[in-house]
Amino acid sequence: MCYNNGENYVSEVSKNHKELVSVIWYLAAMVLPALLVYIFTRVTYNHFVGLALGVALISASAYAGYTDTWPIIILDACSLTFGLWVSIRYIKHMSPHQSA
């Protein structure tokens, strides 16, 4: 690409940067809520407490303005559901191995 002035180059870099940030937000929405639920479940040994803490953190971030589009909200909800599923499997797996 041949640029006559620096302004076009800056706008092109800015556009690529915005696309990259958007992809990172979508990837984070797919992974982080499930990871939060799983980590909180491992700490508390209760998948309902882990889900409640995960939902509370996602709600706080939405209230702060970090979640502003419906696709991100839907991905967060799906990720929370997947995290709950993984946490339930973890709790069931750990139950026979725990004593008292």
Tens of pLDDT along 2-39?
Answer: 555 555 555 666 777 888 888 899 999 999 999 999 99
Range of the domain at 75: 25-94
Under 8 Å between Cβ of 41 and 91: yes
The answer to the question of residue 36 being in a domain is yes
Whether 19 is in a domain gets the answer no
Is 6 a domain residue? no
pLDDT above 60: residue 61: yes
- From residue 90, how far is each of 15, 36, 85 by CA, in Å? 42, 14, 9
Tokens of 26: 């979508």
Q: What is the pLDDT of residues 68-98, one digit of tens each?
A: 789 999 999 999 999 999 999 998 888 776 6
d(CA 47, CA 97): 17
The total domain count for the chain is 1
Residue 79 in any domain: the answer is: yes
